[in-house]
Amino acid sequence: MDPSPRRSKSKESLPSLGKGGERVDSTARIMRAVANLTRSWYLRCGHWLQGLPVSPLLIAAVVMLPVGVVSSALLTPTRQIWIHLWDTLLPEMLSNTFVLLLGVGVGTLLLGTGLAWLMVAYRFPGQTVLNWLLVLPMAVPTYVLGFVYMATFDFAGPVQSILRQWFGQNIWFPKIRSGGGAILVMVLVLYPYVYLLAKAGFYEQSGATFEEARVLGYSRAESFFRIALPLARPSIVAGLTLAMMEALTDFATVRFFNFPTLSDGVIRIWHGMMDLRAASELSGLLVIFVLLIILFGRSLRGRSRYYQVGGKVLGIPPVNLRGWKRWFATSTCSLVVAVAFALPVMQLFHWALIEITRTPAEAISVYLGLTFNSLLLSVLAAGFATAIAMILANGVRLSEGRVARTAAHLATMGYAIPGAVIAVGILVPLSTLDHTINDLLQSWWGITIGLIFTGSVVGLTYAYVVRFMAVAYNSVESSLEKITPNITMAARTLGASPWKLLWRIHLPLVGPGMFVGASLVFVDVMKELPITVMLRPFGYDTLAVWVWQMAAESIWAGASLPALIIVIAGLLPVILLIGAATPKRSK
């Protein structure tokens, strides 16, 4: 039943939209309602909108359209679809999704928090270097580490082959192609989310509070659980929520490890059945899981509030480890770096060298084409996302109103939504638009031109902007907030329009922030797989898609070079994070 990753669809065929065009009608009604609502708000609120090329409310409406389309599918469920899903894969996908989120949550919580506390509260050999080396696994996509572990530890891999030679054919080895293997890989890639935020939470705490607890008779372990951990809980929960959302959106890793989840189910239904209605309704379940993760994170934070009293923060005084403990700490951190980054990257280099030496020179053009396709999509998405984020942030700054802030929150929600959900949510309106154009051409001139926007670079770019708008917006907003309001007020007093204010004053001042935001979006697009697999044009392969195709067919060397390029590109945001990961202690 597992569809081939090379499966393609005819360029002239339109996706099925359900019986009697029901999906076309409902989507058209949703789009008209969104347009009417946006126009109404535009007329009611906003002298600050005048002169701006695009309303922040319109941006929010366009960005939220895919989520609204998918959510609407749950309001009008198709009984036959759910009966079929429940009789086949749905129970297994639901249970696997719960197990995956639980395993990744517990694993990243323990590993990330433990390493963060070790770095903040103790001193041991190699700590300075290990402090930033522990962030490097973020550069490796989960599906890349997944296929490396599959090739290394599977039955036919080198590890089990050597063990059978040494200890006989009946030697027992844990089954890597399982839910446990998928959870292990995701924990090794995603723990830095918890590690970075937990470390920041520990660094921000006052050493005086910690020392007072020691004076009252608490041991260092008791002080950690009763003082340091509660104070850092908001930061830890934020990192945990991000890690669980990343695990939810992954489909390639769980496919490699034969552990189907809801995200994998959406891809299977679309590739195997080309049933957009069923994919939409199953995507609605993923939206519910996202909401559950958010509610779970808020419940973990609790209603208690912890505040740091006093201005100057001296930080928790670190303890110098002695004897075997100092080397145990160094070995533990080094082992994590080795298994999560160093050894897998070395294996990729080994495979890549083999691939380059045995591949004819003319075949290298294939990799150049893959790189060009990835670069093109990344540049387009980064440019559009950053430009729209600048317009949105500028509108919020000029308005100083609740409506604009709400629009900004809605426009940046895409980062919390799985890529498969966004892809399905965009397929529906784009397919509706294609059907409408073809129907008009058929009625006017008796011709049809097939798909126009569905399966195009335009649709892909739209999906990327929806998915990664938050990344660009946060970078732009943080830079814009550093501009004193007096500059804005002076320019408005001198008669500068919002557009001139944006172009002549704000844009030059936030250039570095825009560059950082564009760089982060650029790298995220290169690594993005679910959206690219579902929306790419026919025959348009990228580095990520090629890695997925080769790994699905166990052609490890063929997947290594594109994977290595993705990892090298992924080091860029990690380098940017390293500089901000460790706040400086006050002296």
Q: Which two tokens stand for residue 232?
A: 């850092």
Question: What's the average model confidence in pLDDT over 114-136?
Answer: 91
Percent of the chain exceeding pLDDT 90 equals 23
How does 514-539 read in b/e, with b if 16+ C-beta sit within 10 Å? bebbbbbbbbbbbbbbbbbbbbbbee
Domains of the chain (ranges; CATH) run: 11-43+60-89+378-539 (1.10.3720)
Residue 216 has pLDDT above 80, yes or no: no
Cβ–Cβ contacts within 10 Å for residue 217, how many?
7
Residue 562 has pLDDT above 80, yes or no: yes
Residue 400 has pLDDT above 70, yes or no: no
Cβ–Cβ contacts within 10 Å for residue 328, how many?
12
Q: Which two tokens stand for residue 298?
A: 């808020």
Percent of the chain exceeding pLDDT 70 equals 79
Round to whole Å and give the CA distance between 391 and 473: 10
Distance of CA 125 to the CA centre of its chain: 34
Cβ–Cβ contacts within 10 Å for residue 496, how many?
17
Q: Which two tokens stand for residue 235?
A: 């930061």
How does 334-370 read in b/e, with b if 16+ C-beta sit within 10 Å? bebbeebbeebbebbeebbeebeeeeeeeeeeebeeb
When the pLDDT of each residue in the chain is averaged and rounded to a whole number, the result is: 79
Cβ contact 191:111 at 8 Å: yes
Give the three-class secondary structure for 292.
helix
pTM, two decimals, is: 0.80
Task: Tell me what pLDDT residue 464 has.
Answer: 93
Is 148 or 363 the better-scoring residue by pLDDT?
148
Task: Tell me what pLDDT residue 41 has.
Answer: 45
Task: Tell me what pLDDT residue 257 has.
Answer: 92
Backbone region of residue 400 per phi and psi (left: phi > 0; alpha: psi in -120 to 50; beta: other values): left
Round to whole Å and give the CA distance between 389 and 392: 5
Mean pLDDT check: name the lowest of 30-39, 318-327, 387-396, 502-511.
30-39
Residue 223 has pLDDT above 50, yes or no: yes
Is 285 or 118 the better-scoring residue by pLDDT?
118
Which position has the token pair 């500059």? 487
Task: Tell me what pLDDT residue 218 has.
Answer: 74
Listed in order, strand segments (DSSP E) in 304-431 are 319-320
Is 100 or 537 the better-scoring residue by pLDDT?
100
Residue 37 has pLDDT above 60, yes or no: no
pLDDT classification of 12: cutoffs 50, 70, 90? very low
In this predicted model, what pLDDT tens digit does every residue of 160-202 receive, in sequence order?
888 888 887 788 788 888 899 999 999 999 999 899 888 888 8
Name the pairing type of β-strands 122-123 and 319-320. Answer: parallel
Question: What's the average model confidence in pLDDT over 376-394?
Answer: 88
Task: Tell me what pLDDT residue 6 has.
Answer: 43
pLDDT classification of 3: cutoffs 50, 70, 90? very low
Residues in the chain, how many? Answer: 587
Residue 14 has pLDDT above 70, yes or no: no
Mean pLDDT check: name the lowest of 194-203, 257-266, 510-519.
510-519
Listed in order, strand segments (DSSP E) in 15-124 are 122-123
Round to whole Å and give the CA distance between 528 and 276: 21
Residue 21 has pLDDT above 90, yes or no: no
Is 482 or 312 the better-scoring residue by pLDDT?
482
